[in-house]
Amino acid sequence: MLQYALLHLFGYAVSIDDLKHFRQVDSITPGHPESHDTPGIEVTTGPLGQGFSNAVGLAIAQAHTAAVFNKPGFDLIDNYTYCFFGDGCAMEGIASEAASTAGHLQLGNLIAIYDDNHISIDGDTKCAFTEDVLKRFEAYGWHTLHVKDGDHDLEGIEAAIAEAKKVKDKPTVIKLTTTIGFGSKLQGTGGVHGNPLKADDIKQVKEKFGFDPEKTFVVPQEVYDLYHKHAAEGAAAEQEWNKLFEKYGQEHKALHADLARRLTRDLPEGWQNKLPTYKPTDAAIASRKLSESVLEAIHETIPELISGSADLTGSNNTRWKNAVDFQPPSLGIGDYSGRYMRYGVREHAMAAMMNGMSAYGTIIPAGGTFLNFVSYAAGAVRLSSLSHQRVIYVATHDSIGLGEDGPTHQPIETLAHFRALPNMMVWRPADGNETSAAYYMALTSKSTPSILALTRQNLPQLDSSTIEKAIKGGYVVLEDPEANITLVSTGSEVAICLEAVKTLKDRHNIRARVASLPCVEVFDAQPKDYKLSVIPDGIVAMSVEVMSTLGWEKYSHEQFGLNRFGASGPYKKVYEKFEFTPEGIAKRAVATVDFYKDVKPLRSPLNRAFTQLI
Amino acid sequence: MLQYALLHLFGYAVSIDDLKHFRQVDSITPGHPESHDTPGIEVTTGPLGQGFSNAVGLAIAQAHTAAVFNKPGFDLIDNYTYCFFGDGCAMEGIASEAASTAGHLQLGNLIAIYDDNHISIDGDTKCAFTEDVLKRFEAYGWHTLHVKDGDHDLEGIEAAIAEAKKVKDKPTVIKLTTTIGFGSKLQGTGGVHGNPLKADDIKQVKEKFGFDPEKTFVVPQEVYDLYHKHAAEGAAAEQEWNKLFEKYGQEHKALHADLARRLTRDLPEGWQNKLPTYKPTDAAIASRKLSESVLEAIHETIPELISGSADLTGSNNTRWKNAVDFQPPSLGIGDYSGRYMRYGVREHAMAAMMNGMSAYGTIIPAGGTFLNFVSYAAGAVRLSSLSHQRVIYVATHDSIGLGEDGPTHQPIETLAHFRALPNMMVWRPADGNETSAAYYMALTSKSTPSILALTRQNLPQLDSSTIEKAIKGGYVVLEDPEANITLVSTGSEVAICLEAVKTLKDRHNIRARVASLPCVEVFDAQPKDYKLSVIPDGIVAMSVEVMSTLGWEKYSHEQFGLNRFGASGPYKKVYEKFEFTPEGIAKRAVATVDFYKDVKPLRSPLNRAFTQLI
């Protein structure tokens, strides 16, 4: 509510009426601020630790954008990033990860204010949180300050911020010791965290601070005047910046055009011509390597693409050959114009920092980890979706096909999880053209994040795949007008299904067609006629994907999957153990054809009685 | 491999042959150690930060069990918990959360050894991790020590451990500066992290350390003798402990019986008679409150039940009235015999610590947070399942029914995620009897964790629910032999479905029956005949659950759910917005009945062509 009230005072499109509709259906003032809904909200926060980590991402984006575009006489990109956080955020591991990263990266323009009020939902923080927070931030390499009387010492706060700005090579945390609900009868207790104050308490608070206790939702004109004056100063600064940017355009034409384009979120024209394409005769390649080839091919054309990994660079294949690390120059291993992020083993903060980087508006972040460990980042991945950020998760080692690392690392539930998440594209490409298609959609979808599930093991190039077909999310890989069954599959299992077609024909006299569904979310959005051409009426369909079958009932009558944990071993042996072989698929296809032979009419599973709410 | 090799040397049932089958299918030596598979492996680790947090949980369990059972002359429970962790673990937020908790809790018997080798997968930790780890642990309240030459200084290591044992009121971290792959030609590089050494390198390493380079998988007899001597000392100590425990039984009969019982993981006889039951005339109550009533009713009878919350005690309703906090006595707000955990805002570490607490063998941990934030803990929740721990997640605020907090807090994808996770029971009870049933199953399933998805809003008591019916995971709430449709639902939507039955009858002349499926995993395990009596052939079924429909195709022909993010507002308004009303359900039921009227035979969705691998 403080954010909404301030936005109102500063003249953003948040009216008194909007404030009155706080936490009401279809208002622009939901219970926690959402960047997509409310003018002036920069990132979607509420889930603890996310906002802090978003701030680190915004500061990374600022440092990078400044390093790329600032020139002598043109300090175009010089903003500070401010963030308020409380004890709850300070306890969350994601914020620890982000703070450690910010200290390492020496993000001098980041100023975080720690509202040290000793209270969390469970009451006095003494019950769970007795560490020395400033000492911890010092250990991370932050500049630390303490304002002891945050309730009254406004000069102290201003002085601390001024001091923070002087330190250029460290982020600053200002510990502000405060009283929660200052002025209320319940001040200093958890009772003022989420509940409205009682009527008599509101009255005495208003009196205490010189307001008329009988009036509600009233802002004195002098308060509006004060805030509007500041807002006008901001607007004037924006005008000045616009002039500076115009002048910049005369001296640095290409850079000017690049920055102006980035702010529209459009990609450079013709970039898609750089996407690699493959012929059936090309070698079998792991899709993590195919992803690397895409990055290699497009990184020069798309300068806003910033790749990185949570300490799995060599496994995720996220780094193009001549990449420079994004690093503080003093370390001697990169600089702030570098486009490769070393996130460390910090998956959750990586995701939340990428949300912040994307929100800044000049960057498209892509970050790698094993698919199984995208789950470590689930809290932030959810917010990529909810806040419409174009963030790309490069999720390699996507199944039991990773082999030896075993069940602790083999995803079973992961794709079902993220397919159930609204506004998320989950891609599981089957070959090179499908991998290029996944990147095409991930990069051109301005307000939808993507997870690219990629293999460790090699995949043959399919006979009939093209980028154009695959960007529909699903298409027919092998047609047969007389087919008895459609095999619906993704990723590494598509090629095994194609083998199974031969087994079915040769040994069982059953004819099969094969559909590849690299992205069910994109497929769902196609016209119904098209979808029914891929998974038609009258032919039974069986899905084949080497993980949880949950959700595949939507695209098939029967499902072959893995509803148990995997096994450690060489990947082909693991596939054999679970019968993900042409024979294993054929056996189940035979049972499926037999089971459905008497059903009339046999409708495609895509034919539904009513439309879902979306 | 080091763990497996040591287990072999100490005489555990891990043979040289098992070592030869490292990372092979169906071996007991998978790529990362799993407690369920391998004798002597105490917790399932590999995913970074989990083992460290498990260790904190084991140390919590030790402190609690000691406080409950130790008596003068009977130091029954006095073990130290040792843990090795590297830079990767140190970077993970989960380990930060657990370390902060351990410092707060003053766990003196916890000794963590930090393998400070400067190398992670991406190479020199300088690229991402330049913080001062010991200073950070000091900030958490740990005792810190440093052995500077961990490659050679064995006496220094021994002395550090001895010093660690002297400090009784703080956990100790020993920073051991080492060289990764010490002795190899690749020592000090990431090249020795996961890859086998080359033949010539193996040869020179063996020579360097005095082994015959021509021999493989050979242990000199004097090495066996040394380890077996230590193992015999351990066995003798166990004998002594057994004698002490027998003597304890004479002096402390009830405590002896309690501890002996706990170690079998059986519950006290007759405990289930304490479970609350409800009549249809009882008041409507939120299931989070029903859960509180269960805890209130059973906590005296099941002393091993340790409840807690990640800073949402008042919202999760996880604390019985006279509960004592598990706290270091010096804080004056509890003691180590206390059975209520204040986990702080640390969901991921809470889950991993509960895994450790459960693995200790004397505790059943139950921990609360909002269902949406169980996702923060996904990495550890997965390991609850994989390692067969009886851990209970009390997950309140289970849907858009939480209302005002809005989309950032309203689960959509969460149940689909955890239903896709093998060996996890996801319960979403519809009333009081179903809530008691959920606890019955959660507590009696010795090797399966549970998530209890509970409402914020009140739920009426159903006419026909009983614990006996609900423990089957699914049952008929309202039968009608002439029904045109089965409504399949869970939790807060079951009562709305019952209202919809009246709407369908009165306005549409359609007869409906209702099935409640509080736990699909348990329902799946019932005999097929029973399942088909709940969702029969010949009647179309429609699922109703106010979140992602993903997976409901398995139990219904059509699905009514919410495949988008929710909305902030009073919960009834939010339900109305998305048409989760008797009318909204009836409308879709009519369309469903109409759409399927021509299908022959109309099979139950539970009738399948083949059986899944499990």
pLDDT at position B191 is 87
Nearest residue on chain B to A104, alpha-carbon basis: B130
> How many residues appear in chain A?
614
Write out the E strands in A364-489. 364-370, 392-396, 425-427, 450-453, 458-459, 475-478, 485-489
Q: What confidence tens digit (pLDDT) does each residue in A508-545 have? A: 999 999 999 999 999 999 999 999 999 999 999 999 99
Q: Which residues are paired to B472 by β-bridges?
A: none
pLDDT at position B41 is 97
Instruction: Say whether A550 and B416 touch across the interface (CB within 8 A).
Output: yes
Closest in B127, B131, B578 to A613, CB measured: B578
Q: What confidence tens digit (pLDDT) does each residue in B570-596 have? A: 999 999 999 999 999 999 999 999 999
Shortest Cα distance, chain A CAs vs residue B583, angstroms: 15
Cα-Cα-Cα-Cα dihedral sign, residues B197, B199, B205, B210: positive
β-pairing, B364-370 with B392-396?
parallel
How far is it, in rounded angstroms, from Cα B563 to Cα A423?
9
- Per-residue confidence band for A388, with pLDDT thresholds at 50, 70 and 90: very high
How far is it, in rounded angstroms, from Cα B345 to Cα A92?
6
- The rounded mean pLDDT for chain B is 97
Q: State the Rg of chain B over Cα.
A: 27
- pLDDT average, residue stretch A298-321: 98
- The rounded mean pLDDT for chain A is 97
How far is it, in rounded angstroms, from Cα A208 to Cα A205?
5
Helices (H), B332-413: 347-360, 371-374, 378-386
Closest in A48, A131, A343 to B100, CB measured: A131
Structure tokens, A412: 């079973």
Q: What confidence tens digit (pLDDT) does each residue in B515-573 have? A: 999 999 999 999 999 999 999 999 999 999 999 999 999 999 999 999 999 999 999 99
| Annotated binding-site ranges of B for thiamine diphosphate | 46-48, 88, 117, 193, 373
The yes-or-no verdict on residue A612 having pLDDT over 90 is no
Instruction: Say whether B101 and A128 touch across the interface (CB within 8 A).
Output: yes
How far is it, in rounded angstroms, from Cα B298 to Cα A434?
55
Q: What confidence tens digit (pLDDT) does each residue in B130-169 have? A: 999 999 999 999 999 999 999 999 999 999 999 999 999 9
What is the ipTM metric for this complex? 0.97
Residues of chain B in contact with residue A373, where contact means CB-CB under 8 angstroms, are: 47, 379
The yes-or-no verdict on residue B129 having pLDDT over 70 is yes
- Per-residue confidence band for A117, with pLDDT thresholds at 50, 70 and 90: very high
Closest in A96, A135, A420 to B416, CB measured: A420
- pLDDT average, residue stretch A372-384: 98
pLDDT at position B194 is 81
- pLDDT average, residue stretch A594-598: 96
Q: Which of residues 215-244 of B touch A (CB under 8 A)?
A: none
pLDDT at position B614 is 64
Shortest Cα distance, chain B CAs vs residue A353, angstroms: 14
pLDDT at position A99 is 98
Edge-first strand order for the sheet with A558-560 is A475-478, A512-516, A485-489, A540-544, A558-560
Q: Which of residues 352-381 of A touch B (CB under 8 A)?
A: 372-373, 375-376, 378-379
- pLDDT average, residue stretch A57-69: 98
How far is it, in rounded angstroms, from Cα A315 to Cα A299?
19
The yes-or-no verdict on residue A571 having pLDDT over 70 is yes
Residues of chain A in contact with residue B551, where contact means CB-CB under 8 angstroms, are: 416, 420, 550-551, 553
Shortest Cα distance, chain B CAs vs residue A235, angstroms: 31
Residues of chain B in contact with residue A601, where contact means CB-CB under 8 angstroms, are: 598-599
pLDDT at position B612 is 78
Instruction: Say whether A406 and B333 touch across the interface (CB within 8 A).
Output: no
Q: Which residues are paired to A309 by β-bridges?
A: A342, A368
CA atoms within a 13 Å half-sphere pointing along the CA-CB vector of A517: 26
Q: Look at residues A147, A209, A206, A135 and name the one whose alpha carbon lies nearest to residue A178.
A: A147
pLDDT at position A614 is 64
Closest in A343, A563, A569 to B24, CB measured: A569
Question: What is the number of other CB atoms lying within 10 angstroms of the CB of residue B390?
Answer: 23
Q: Are B420 and A416 in contact (CB under 8 A)?
A: yes
Instruction: Say whether A613 and B24 touch across the interface (CB within 8 A).
Output: no
Q: Are A420 and B412 in contact (CB under 8 A)?
A: yes
Nearest residue on chain B to A47, alpha-carbon basis: B408
CA atoms within a 13 Å half-sphere pointing along the CA-CB vector of A503: 16
pLDDT at position B258 is 98
Q: Which of residues 553-612 of B touch A (CB under 8 A)?
A: 553-554, 557-565, 567-570, 573-574, 577-579, 587-588, 591-592, 594-596, 598-601, 603, 605, 608-610, 612
Could you tell me if B168 lies within 8 Å of chain A, comparing CB atoms? no
Question: What is the number of other CB atoms lying within 10 angstroms of the CB of residue B147?
Answer: 22
Q: Look at residues B160, B208, B157, B203 and name the one whose alpha carbon lies nearest to residue B178.
A: B157
Instruction: Say whether A420 and B417 touch across the interface (CB within 8 A).
Output: yes
Q: What confidence tens digit (pLDDT) does each residue in B470-497 have? A: 999 999 999 999 999 999 999 999 999 9
- Residue B92 is a catalytic residue: no
Cα-Cα-Cα-Cα dihedral sign, residues A129, A131, A132, A137: negative
β-pairing, B172-177 with A485-489?
unpaired
**Which are the catalytic amino acids of A?**
347
Q: Which of residues 90-149 of A touch B (CB under 8 A)?
A: 91-97, 100-101, 103-104, 120-122, 126-133, 135-136, 138-141
Residues of chain B in contact with residue A196, where contact means CB-CB under 8 angstroms, are: none
Instruction: Say whether B409 and A379 touch across the interface (CB within 8 A).
Output: no
Q: Which residues are paired to B123 by β-bridges?
A: B120
Residues of chain A in contact with residue B409, where contact means CB-CB under 8 angstroms, are: 31-32, 46-47
How far is it, in rounded angstroms, from Cα B579 to Cα A612?
11
pLDDT at position B193 is 85
Q: What confidence tens digit (pLDDT) does each residue in B217-252 have? A: 999 999 999 999 999 999 999 999 999 999 999 999
- Per-residue confidence band for B195, with pLDDT thresholds at 50, 70 and 90: confident
Reduce the secondary structure of B32-99 to three states and give it as a string: CCCCCCCCCCCCCCCCCCHHHHHHHHHHHHHHHHHHHHCECCECCCCCCEEEEECHHHHHCHHHHHHH
Q: Are A103 and B130 in contact (CB under 8 A)?
A: yes
Residue A593 vs residues A504, A589, A605, B610: alpha-carbon distances, Å: 11, 6, 15, 11
